[in-house]
Amino acid sequence: MDLDDTQEQAAYRAQARAWLDEHKSQAPVLDGAGALQDESEIIAARRAWQGKLAEGGLAGVTWPKDFGGQGLGPIEQVICNQEIAKAKVPGILDAIGVGMLGPTIIAHGTDEQKSRYLGPMLHGDEVWCQLFSEPAAGSDLAAVQARARLQEDGSWRLSGQKVWTTNAQFASYGLLLARTDSDVPKHKGLTMFIVPIDAQGVTVRGLRQISGEAEFNEVFFDDVALDADAVVGGVGNGWGTAMTTLMFERVTIGLGSEGMGYNSNRFAQAIAADADARRDPEVRHTLGEIASELLAVRFTGYRTLSALQKGQVPGPESGLAKITIVNGAIKAGDLITDVLGPDALSEDGEWAYMISFLPGLKSAGGTEEILRNTIGERVLGLPPAPRLDKGIPFSELRSKETAAA
């Protein structure tokens, strides 16, 4: 189903569709006959395709025109995602950079940072990664321990470890949250940096997942030198800068879900192909439940979209869309596995990747428990969870925790 396009949106849809019709034969083939196999060839082809999408106005749709974007709204971004999905071609490779990190640099970066980094990011010439999570700082992101120390000449020295860093294995740069002051409460002593992944002292190690891919990495920093102009958003303002990134992360996951194929028509078609399942009341009932949840989330998503289009910031309730989409798609994967049996997990099949990838998406972009806590506190007005670390300098937290244990 398309959005209820206005005249301008219908014109943008027609323009996107016409561009895709003309250029889709140049898109890299990732599935089925003739699919690229070699990992580095796939990355090179997807970077080149991202460059073409950017030239065609199908990347950075919401970025301002000054930075190579289209200066359009989130509804046009969804239209773009829908048309790319319909054309059955890959979208941009660097969804993290273009969807989350670029907008953070647009919001908080200096003019020099914007003119140096945004163009190559948009065109896929330089891929970016998000260096936020650490072994002891995921849900509790403000607990990051990677440490950047200010030098006398104004430069910085960075040491520490990040984990779950998607795309670091082929990234040129990362946006990294580090502690620059341990003598203030944990949210206050943080600073955001741009880090070149090929800098001396940076080591990237892949982590292989159940889906067979190694899209995550551990990244180690051993006394890495960073220039003074690597800081984004000001020293000590890392938390606010990180919140901008996370807001864009939730919006990207929410707006991208249709493009990822998590919609009930696709699930229903897979099940309807099996004559027995088609008549089975239990299967029909479960499919109906999934379809109604995903339909509800689609319209909730349209409400979020309308708010975004008016320039409003989506509230914490938009986290509910992420939870519902991911849980609905996991339930659909389970149902498809019940119906198709072991074929559902065949490597060449349509579903194995989705079934093995989705449990990870429960954690990415905020876990279900954390999103539900936020909704409980900020939307429903429930009492907040006790916070023992409030107002206490980061350097004293460990001793308080040990004393409380």
Catalytic positions, written as ranges: 249
**230 versus 305: smaller Cβ distance to ligand FAD:** 230
Shortest distance in whole angstroms from residue 21 CB to ligand FAD: 33
Shortest distance in whole angstroms from residue 221 CB to ligand FAD: 14
Long-range CB contact pairs, 311-316, < 8 A, 24+: 313/247, 314/247, 314/250, 314/251, 315/378, 315/379, 316/371, 316/374, 316/375, 316/378, 316/379
Query: Which residues in 362-391 contact ligand FAD (CB under 6 A)?
Result: 363-364, 367, 369-370, 373, 385
| Rounded distance between C-alpha atoms, residue 21 and residue 325, angstroms | 30
Q: Which of 360, 376, 377, 389 binds ligand FAD (CB under 6 A)?
A: 360
Cα 87-17-12 angle, rounded to 5 deg: 135
Q: Which stretch binds ligand FAD (CB under 6 A): 5-13, 59-67, 129-137, 253-261?
A: 129-137
Q: Which residues pair with 216 in a beta bridge?
A: 207
Q: Which of 139, 292, 312, 399 binds ligand FAD (CB under 6 A)?
A: 139
Binding-site string for ligand FAD from residue 189 to residue 218, where x marks contact by CB under 6 A and - marks none: ------------------------------
Q: Which stretch binds ligand FAD (CB under 6 A): 47-55, 280-288, 346-354, 357-365?
A: 357-365
Q: What token pair was written down for 153?
A: 């000449």
Q: Should residue 151 be labelled a site residue for ligand FAD when binding is judged by CB under 6 A?
A: no
Q: Which stretch binds ligand FAD (CB under 6 A): 115-123, 161-169, 180-188, 313-321?
A: 161-169
- DSSP codes joined into one string, 139-197: SSGGG---EEEE-TTS-EEEEEEE-S-TTGGG-SEEEEEEES-SSSBTTTSEEEEEEET
Q: Should residue 133 be labelled a site residue for ligand FAD when binding is judged by CB under 6 A?
A: yes
Sequence letter at residue 380:
L
| Rounded distance between C-alpha atoms, residue 196 and residue 179, angstroms | 18
Q: Which of 130, 180, 191, 304 binds ligand FAD (CB under 6 A)?
A: 130
| Rounded distance between C-alpha atoms, residue 82 and residue 74, angstroms | 12
- Eight-state DSSP code of residue 199: S
Shortest distance in whole angstroms from residue 246 CB to ligand FAD: 9
Q: What token pair was written down for 170?
A: 């082929």
Q: Should residue 221 be labelled a site residue for ligand FAD when binding is judged by CB under 6 A?
A: no
Q: Should residue 316 be labelled a site residue for ligand FAD when binding is judged by CB under 6 A?
A: no
Judged by the rule CB under 6 A, the positions of this chain that interact with ligand FAD are 96, 129-130, 132-133, 138-139, 164-166, 360-361, 363-364, 367, 369-370, 373, 385
